[in-house]
Structure 1
Amino acid sequence: MSGRFLGIHHASLIVADTARSLAFYRDVLGLPVLERPDLPFPGAWLGVGAGQIHLLELPNPDPVDGRPEHGGRDRHVALSVSGLEEIKLRLEQTGVSYTPSRSGRPAIFVRDPDGNALELIGAT
């Protein structure tokens, strides 16, 4: 087989309010906002290392309520991070709750304002 997967280019997350989501992703997590092409709906693109997160402000076909409290038991996007302790402090200072990974790894799970789960894994 000659085709190889090289990495994840981006993950798209549905959000209800782009400005509210940017307050979380840009202002709390510190992700840079990237240039976004002119699309027929609101949203934002954010840089994550060599990849991206695309925020799509569109009607959500999935239930937002009734999700598992721990994001590790739900679909989620996992991101490698440096400075996990600093990120935990920023989350605490802004009132954003998180749960530790139950695997024993240096990782936490957090949900964005729309209930999308993120796993933040400390780089070793």
Structure 2
Amino acid sequence: MIKIKQMLHTGIIVSDMERSRAFYEGLLGLKPSDKRPPLSFDGAWYDIGINQLHLMVVPNPYAGAELPAHGGRDYHVAFAVDDVMEVKQVLDQAGVAYTMSMSGRAALFCRDPDGNALEFSAVKMD
């Protein structure tokens, strides 16, 4: 059996780095990391706690796929936040569509400009 010690990063396929940076840096407030070496394709790394998010401009094998209306029923990345209502307000002001968690928890789901599903869940962190 494999013993996994920690999740390190999540890679997300995007088509337009400028548009994706505007979303992830401008709207979500992430800061690019300079800890990763350049790769043979365009992209960006973001440090989020002990993990990283990796945006990659590569051919998308899922292009044209029909995505579920609710991001919680799709592959997604989950981010811990203090207050889901603050996220809701920012998304409302930016005109970004979202759905609330179907489980009743304090969480919501939206999609980035390329349709990648993102979850924002209220989690108390020490």
TM-score by length of 2: 0.89
- After superposing on structure 2, the runs of 4+ consecutive aligned residues of structure 1 that deviate more than 2 Å are 3-7
Could you tell me how far 1:4 is from its partner in structure 2?
4.4
Distance 1:49 1:81 in 2: 12
Identity %: 49
Larger deviation: 28-37 or 9-18? 28-37
Could you tell me how far 1:60 is from its partner in structure 2?
0.3
Distance 2:6 2:119 in 1: 17
Distance 1:64 1:123 in 2: 34
- Aligned partner of 1:104 in structure 2 is 104
- Aligned partner of 2:85 in structure 1 is 85
Larger deviation: 98-107 or 44-53? 44-53
How many equivalent residue pairs?
123
Matched, 1:50 2:36: no
- Aligned partner of 1:63 in structure 2 is 63
Could you tell me how far 1:88 is from its partner in structure 2?
1.5
Q: Extract unaligned runs of 5+ from structure 2.
A: none
Q: Extract unaligned runs of 5+ from structure 1.
A: none
Matched, 1:7 2:6: yes
Could you tell me how far 1:94 is from its partner in structure 2?
0.7
Distance 2:78 2:111 in 1: 12
